[in-house]
Structure 1
Amino acid sequence: MIRRVAQRNTELNSFHRVRGSDMSADKSPLHLQAADCDSLLLDNQLCFALYSTSLMMTKVYKPLLQALGLTYPQYLAMMVLWEQDGLTVGDVSTRLLTDPGSLTPLLKRLEGEGFISRTRSKEDERVVLLHLTEQGRALQHKALSVPGCILSSSGLTMDTLRELQARLLDLRGHLQQSL
């Protein structure tokens, strides 16, 4: 364990160190040459790799979801309800790592399309419960082909996809802990 931590610290230090530069008081950062700043190249940024991949994923999903009458955020909300019907808006927003206020307009549109119903809790009027309608349940069967299409478009094997997903979830967990 100690060896792993030491190796990680060494990797982090070398990642954050500007290659070949001496940041002493007599050398201003303004005098650094572009070749010395590899760590600042856009394509070397993990955040950009994640961001641009997310954009591409959304573009691949778009025609698949249009055929279902859903946007990508609506699809995510429906998946949460397909996993467990009868959740509150707060439950869904927690699961999607989003703000309940930004979720409300999306849920109203899903209700307008006939996929869900929204009702106030009898115990607490502030709480809104979400339930799938028959049409919303039927949509789940139509959506069954979507993950396979995404896997095919990714060019990955199922094992590689699962490994990548596990690493991304691990990264997300570490980032949440750092906040």
Structure 2
Amino acid sequence: MSTQEDLLKLDNQVCFPLYALSREITNHYRPFLDELDLSYPQYLVMMLLWEYKKLSVSGICDKLMLDTGTLTPLLKRMEAKGLVLRQRNSSDERVVTITLSDKGKALKKAASAIPDKMIEAMGLSMEELLHLKQITTKILNKTTQQ
């Protein structure tokens, strides 16, 4: 039986290993993304655009669980690199649509090797990775529904 004091020990926390793991995984991505001149959040945006082709800023915010104050400067940097195009909706100036530039589309081929490199770097089986994803997604869905 744990005491109230035991609950405050770092070794007894569930959130700390998740936090540390998130940082470690992001650090493993860094050398692969440096080759593409992308940060991890930029890579996430690129993956969404490779999949959906065109998204509003609010759509990207929703999918990445980011606020516009975080995403807007990131998108401006991506536009300056020539990776994406930002366009205001002519019928509603508040809506900004993001699409890939030709350079952004071409980057997909170079990025296609990253998932396999990450699987190798993690040193886990595909089954273990899928199980980890399932558990973290379950927790994330429960916490974001509150």
- Shorter-chain TM-score range: over 0.9
Q: Percent identity?
A: 41
Q: Aligned AA for 1:45?
A: Q
CA distance in structure 1 between the partners assigned to 2:74 and 2:144 by the alignment? 25
Give 1:36-75 correspondences, 5 Å limit. Answer: 37-75=5-43
Return the TM-score normalized by structure 1.
0.78
CA distance in structure 1 between the partners assigned to 2:32 and 2:12 by the alignment? 31
2:84 alignment partner in structure 1: 116
> Does residue 1:18 correspond to 2:3, yes or no?
yes
> Does residue 1:134 correspond to 2:119, yes or no?
no
1:159 alignment partner in structure 2: 127
1:34 alignment partner in structure 2: none
Unaligned regions of 5+ residues in structure 2, if any? none
CA distance in structure 1 between the partners assigned to 2:11 and 2:115 by the alignment? 28
CA distance in structure 1 between the partners assigned to 2:123 and 2:8 by the alignment? 29
SS in 1 for 2:55: coil
Shift of 1:142: 0.6
Unaligned regions of 5+ residues in structure 1, if any? 1-13, 20-36
Shift of 1:39: 2.8
Give the structure, 1 or 2, with the largest relative contact order (CA under 8 Å, sep 6 or more).
2
1:23 alignment partner in structure 2: none
Return the TM-score normalized by structure 2.
0.95
Post-superposition Cα deviations, 1:9-66, rounded to whole Å, max 9, x if no partner, equal xxxxx6xx517xxxxxxxxxxxxxxxxx433221221110111001111111111100
Partner residue of 2:66 out of 70, 87, 98: 98
Post-superposition Cα deviations, 1:56-108, rounded to whole Å, max 9, x if no partner, equal 11111111100001001111111111110111000001000010121000001
CA distance in structure 1 between the partners assigned to 2:13 and 2:65 by the alignment? 23
